[in-house]
Each structure stands twice: as C-alpha cells, then as structure tokens.
C-alpha cells in the first residue's frame, strides 16, 4: 500500500526514506507552522478530536461528541491518527471562539464586522475556516450558551470547532465581543 503525506494526503515517492512523513518540503514546513501556531494552552488541553468533514471522531474512529469528554483526546494522539481529514477542538472549560461566517472575500479582504472583531481582539489567534470564507477568533471566556447575532456566533461550551488554517498568529486572551453585535 502506498504511503501518503501527513499534510496533503499525496503519495510519498517510492524512493522516500522509510521514516518520511511529507511528500515535499513545503508540506513539512506548513505542518510545522500549523503545529506551532496553535496556542500552547489549546495543544495541552485534552479536548481534541479527529474530524471527517465537520464531524468529530475519536482517533480510533468512533463518533465523538461535545458533551462526552470520554470521546476527546490529546493533541498528540489526534495528530498521530490518520483518520479523516483533519482535527477539531471541543470548546468549554474557559476556551471560546467567535465564529464569523462568510466574512472573507475571494480577493482576501474581510468584512467590516470581521475587521472590528479582530481589532477588539488584537492579540488573539485567528484561523481561516475550512471553507476559506470564515474566521475563528480564539480566546478565553466563561462558559455560557451559544448565541448568534448579525453574522457573528459566540461559543464557549459544548461546541465542536473544525480547525482550518492559521490566519493570524496570536495567543489566548479574554475574548471581547464587538459592541455592534453585543
């Protein structure tokens, strides 16, 4: 059976070393940047899952759920698993996310709401959603019910977030919800 790249899923060259994990240098570099871009507080929390599309699974292939901590795993275990097409994180225990859908245009510009959300959370880690048209602003917030207002979703418990790619390096700080939607 051919071996595949951990990053893009492409085939590794027949001549690749036995311990090779990536098909080319750009995949290796991209994977390393992704790992180091995720704030340490998230990487060390045992709230990780694999994902198939936007559905969470354990690294072994069972369904995972945002309300069943026994189905979550460590970052290391989900990165080692080959199941599905990526990883995700279960919010709660102070970890929260502002979810902005359809705020990134094809030319890369972002909506006024997204600009405001980034401005009031200047040091937050931000990722581009799987669709490439949304942003996730990560941070800290007490647990509370999720809410949607004016194109912004605020989640701080019992929610699965499928990770995309880093949009802006940063850390985890208390999240501020932009006033125009509060």
pTM (two decimals) = 0.80
Per DSSP, helices labelled H in the chain are 25-37, 40-43, 75-80, 112-120
User: In tens digits, what is the pLDDT along the chain, a chain of 182 residues?
Assistant: 567 777 777 788 888 888 887 788 777 766 666 656 899 999 999 999 999 988 999 999 999 999 999 999 999 999 999 899 899 999 999 999 999 999 999 888 999 999 999 999 999 999 999 888 999 999 999 999 999 988 899 999 999 999 988 899 999 999 999 876 44
Residue 98 near residue 177 (C-beta atoms within 8 A): yes
pLDDT for res 4: 79
Cβ neighbors of 152 (< 8 A, separation 6 or more) are 98, 99, 100, 113, 117, 177, 178, 181
What sign has the CA pseudo-torsion 156, 73, 132, 122? Answer: positive
């Amino acid at each position: 059976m051919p071996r595949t790249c951990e990053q893009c899923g492409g085939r590794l060259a027949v001549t690749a070393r036995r311990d090779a994990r990536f098909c080319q240098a750009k995949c290796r570099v991209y994977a390393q940047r992704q790992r180091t871009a995720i704030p340490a507080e998230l990487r060390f929390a045992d709230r990780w899952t694999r994902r198939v599309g936007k559905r969470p699974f354990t690294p072994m292939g069972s369904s995972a759920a945002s309300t069943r901590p026994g189905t979550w795993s460590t970052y290391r275990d989900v990165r080692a698993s080959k199941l599905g097409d990526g990883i995700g994180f279960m919010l709660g225990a102070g970890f929260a996310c502002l979810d902005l859908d359809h705020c990134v245009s094809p030319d890369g510009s972002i909506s006024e709401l997204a600009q405001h959300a980034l401005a009031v959370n200047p040091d937050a880690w931000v990722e581009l959603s799987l669709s490439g048209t949304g942003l996730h602003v990560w941070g800290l917030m007490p647990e509370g019910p999720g809410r949607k207002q004016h194109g912004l979703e605020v989640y701080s418990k019992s929610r699965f977030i499928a990770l995309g790619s880093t949009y802006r390096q940063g850390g985890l700080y208390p999240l501020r919800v932009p006033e125009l939607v509060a």
